[in-house]
Amino acid sequence: MTDHVFKSDFLRTMQARGYIHQVTHPAELDAAAASGVVTGYIGFDATAPSLHVGHLIQIMLLRRLQQAGHKPIVLMGGGTTKVGDPSFKDTQRPLLTDERIAENIAGIRGVFEKFLTFGDGPTDAIMLDNDEWLSKLGYLEFLREYGTHFTVNRMLSFDSVKLRLEREQPLTFLEFNYMLMQATDFLELNRRAKCVLQMGGSDQWGNIVNGVELIRRVDQKPAFGLTTPLLSTASGQKMGKTVGGAVWLNADQLSPYDYWQYWRNTEDGDVGRFMRLFTDLSDDEIAGWESLEGAEINEAKKALADAATTMLHGAEAALKARSTSEEAFERGHATTDLPTQEFVWAGTPEEQERNGGPFQKRQAEALLKASELSPSIGQARKKIQNEGVWINDSLIKDPGQFFDLNDVDSGVGAFKVKLGKRGQIVLVKPI
């Protein structure tokens, strides 16, 4: 889509900032966006109590849509979560109870209010739940009304299905219905809210095309689809994964400090691209940051972290995270604002029984595992052997190196455990 010349502000911005991978009817969508308000939606299944950074580009799509004078719909997948999207997954997703799905939706709602303006106005965002209509569909009614518009031949041709079958992984009939349900969502939103655009990641292309074709075939109305490219870092890593796990958007799942630190650790080659995708910084500002070289690129990374964290957690949280990081990494001062894990220094009763009494000393590998920067003693040992772990600003080379309570950083009453030169720092507080 890079060579298409768009007239609408929406698609011009989307193209310039790197959001567009595929569009079903580019000229028609461009004309619609240039001549009036376009209503578009993205669906989010409620598989966890928080969305993560992998979802952020989709949230930004809705933000860009609204910024260009159009109307976004956030569709919560209360109904489709009961089925599970099989797209590019090797195994079936665990099925959640209605109660867990409702809890997850409640946890997710607040994030969208940080990025979108909700209300009753013509371009105000609205949030809907597809369980409202999917749960009311009788099975025979569903098959008779919608099943006739889909052929198994075409459904099998989509990469998301083909890859599962080629790997000889089971694809349940329940999951096979997911793409019909998503297409039904688009048709329902078109009828209820005059929604003409569905957006999503490139892995959703097949599902989106099904909905576009269903609307055009059943109601003979215009409908469009748009997908974003598959996001990976400059080194080829999947976007949003860190040594500590998923980068959650809810503050109770991941602290604003850790969120800021995630963006601060962006690879050099990704800074400008991520500024375009994940912040509202202007093209001129981004060009200025991209012109920096050498060690100065770190200032651009801080600007990216400031902007991204401010958007999600607010300016005060971003400023506090930056200050904490600079104190810890640049001036070597641990502060109590760093993430903290409490560690039972004497050991559990079972450990004490095996050890013949309370622990007086702890090994470096135990401190790294206690920080939760490593999920196991075995992995902690490997990370120390690879020379990537610092305790109290000293590089640790021996996983069995002992520490006692006299080694605690007296300023914060904890051990400062750092993974990677620019990585995460966690205070391990003995109790």
CATH code for the domain in which residue 303 is found: 1.10.240.10
Tokens of 333: 């001062």
**Which residues lie closer than 8 Å to 250 by C-beta, 6 or more apart?**
49, 50, 51, 107, 108, 110, 111
405 pLDDT above the threshold of 70: yes
Residues 326 and 350 occupy one common structural domain: no
* 182 part of the active site: yes
Q: What is the pLDDT of residues 91-107, one digit of tens each?
A: 555 778 889 999 999 99
**Percent of the chain surpassing pLDDT 90:** 57
**Which tens digits make up the pLDDT trace of 231-246?**
888 888 877 666 567 8
d(CA 59, CA 249): 11
Among 22, 47, 340, 379, which one carries the catalytic annotation? 47
Task: Determine contact, residues 276/307, Cβ cutoff 8 Å.
Answer: no
Shared domain for 272 and 175, answered yes or no, is: no
Catalytic residue among 198, 242, 253, 363: 242
DSSP label at 423? T
* Catalytic residue flag (residue 383): no
Which CA distances in Å does 224 have to 26, 74, 103, 116, 164? 8, 17, 32, 22, 27
Residue among 168, 186, 172, 146 nearest 24 (CA): 186
Q: What is the pLDDT of residues 362-389, one digit of tens each?
A: 999 999 999 888 888 998 999 999 878 9
Confidence of residue 86 (pLDDT cuts 50, 70, 90): low
Whether 346 and 268 share a structural domain: no
Which one of 17, 55, 320, 362 is the catalytic residue? 55
In whole angstroms, what is the distance from residue 210 CA to residue 155 CA?
9
**Residue 378 belongs to what domain range?**
340-430
Question: Higher model confidence: residue 375 or residue 190?
Answer: 190
Q: Mean pLDDT over residues 333-345, rounded?
A: 79
> Is 418 inside a domain boundary?
yes
C-alpha closest to that of 70 among 104, 98, 34, 25: 34
- Which residues sit opposite 395 in a β-bridge? 390
The four Cα atoms 286, 288, 289, 295 give a dihedral, to 10 degrees, of 170
- Nearest CA to 85 out of 197, 179, 210, 213 is that of 179
Is residue 203 among the annotated active site residues? yes
Shared domain for 214 and 259, answered yes or no, is: no
Active-site residue, selected from the candidate residues 4, 238, 397, 421:
238
Mean pLDDT throughout 349-353? Answer: 81
Residue 91 is among the residues annotated as catalytic for this protein? no
3 state SS of 393: coil
> Both 186 and 315 in a single domain?
no
User: How far apart are alpha carbons 275 and 383 in whole angstroms?
Assistant: 31
Per-residue confidence at 81, pLDDT binned at 50, 70, 90?
confident
pLDDT digits (tens, 9 = 90+) for 9-45: 999 999 999 999 999 999 999 999 999 999 999 999 8
* Predicted confidence band of residue 148 (pLDDT cuts 50, 70, 90): confident
Exactly one of 9, 159, 203, 268 is catalytic; which is it?
203
* Marked catalytic residue, from 17, 52, 264, 320: 52
Structure tokens at 70: 């159009």
Q: Quick one: 105 and 166 in the same domain?
A: yes
Q: How many domains does the chain have?
A: 3
Residue 137 lies in a domain: yes
Domain end, chosen from 308, 330, 352, is at: 330
**From CA 14, how far away is CA 197, in angstroms rounded?**
14
- What's residue 85's pLDDT? 58
DSSP 259-312: HHHHHHT--GGGHHHHHHHH----HHHHHHHHT--GGGHHHHHHHHHHHHHHHH
pLDDT category of residue 287 using cuts at 50, 70 and 90: very high
Output the average pLDDT for the chain.
88
Give the residue from 289, 305, 330 where a domain finishes. Answer: 330
- State yes or no: is 93 an active-site residue: yes
CA nearest 250: which of 97, 403, 74, 105?
105
Shared-domain flag, residues 320 and 350: no
Same domain membership, residue 368 and residue 305: no
Catalytic residue among 21, 25, 89, 109: 89
- Give 204-251 as a DSSP string: GHHHHHHHHHHHHHHT----EEEEEPPPB-TTSPBTTEETTEE-BSST
Q: For strands 71-77 and 126-129, give the pairing.
A: parallel
pLDDT for 221 equals 97
Does a structural domain hold residue 244?
no
CA distances from 173 to 92, 176, 178, 180, 284 (A): 11, 5, 9, 12, 51
In a domain, 424, yes or no: yes
Whose CA is closest to 186, among 210, 217, 211?
Answer: 211
What DSSP letter does each residue of 333-345 carry, written as one string? ---TTS-EEEE-T
Q: Determine how many CB atoms are found less than 10 A away from the CB of residue 332.
A: 10
What pLDDT, on a 0 to 100 scale, did the predictor assign at position 167? 73
Determine which of 39-48, 244-253, 329-338 has the lowest per-residue pLDDT on average.
329-338
Q: Per-residue DSSP letters for 159-173? A: HHHHHHHHTT----H
User: Confidence band (pLDDT; 50, 70, 90) for 336?
Assistant: low
Cα 79 to chain centroid, rounded: 21
Whether 301 sits among the annotated catalytic residues: the reply is: no
95 and 194 part of one domain: yes
Catalytic (active site) residue 162: no
pLDDT by residue (tens digit) across 295-305? 899 999 999 99
Q: Give the model's pLDDT for residue 3.
A: 66
Task: Verify whether residue 21 is a known catalytic residue.
Answer: no
> Looking at 12, 21, 25, 241, which residue is catalytic?
241
Active site residue 238: yes
Last residue of some domain: 228, 243, 265? 228
Note whether residue 204 is domain-resident.
Answer: yes
Check if the beta carbon of residue 232 is closer than 8 Å to that of residue 274.
Answer: no
Is residue 175's pLDDT more than 80?
no
H helix or E strand, kind and range, residue 62: helix 53-67
80 as an active site residue: the answer is no
CATH number at residue 94: 3.40.50.620
1 in a structural domain: no
Of the candidates 15, 80, 182, 309, the residue annotated as catalytic is: 182
> Residue 423 corresponds to which tokens in the numbers above?
């990585």
Query: How many angstroms separate the first and last alpha carbons of the chain?
Result: 58
Average pLDDT over residues 238-265: 85
- d(Cα 19, Cα 429) in Å, to the nearest integer? 43
Asked, for residue 193, whether it belongs to a domain, the answer is: yes
Residues 65 and 164 in one domain: yes
416: CATH: 3.10.290.10
Is the same domain home to 351 and 292?
Answer: no
Q: What is the pLDDT of residue 88?
A: 44
CA distances from 331 to 95, 152, 307, 325, 427 (A): 48, 62, 23, 9, 16
Residue 218 shares a structural domain with residue 296: no
| In the predicted structure, residue 166 carries a pLDDT above the cut 70 | yes
Question: In which band, very low, low, confident or very high, does the pLDDT at 155 lie, cut at 50, 70 and 90?
Answer: confident
> How confident is the model at residue 321, as a pLDDT?
93
Residue 238 lies in a domain: no
b/e sequence 256-292, b meaning 16+ C-beta within 10 Å: bbbbbbbbbebeeebbbbbbbbbbebeeeebeebeeb
Between 225 and 148, the higher pLDDT residue: 225
DSSP 129: E
Per-residue confidence band for 62, with pLDDT thresholds at 50, 70 and 90: very high
Residues 145, 80: Cα–Cα separation, whole Å: 18
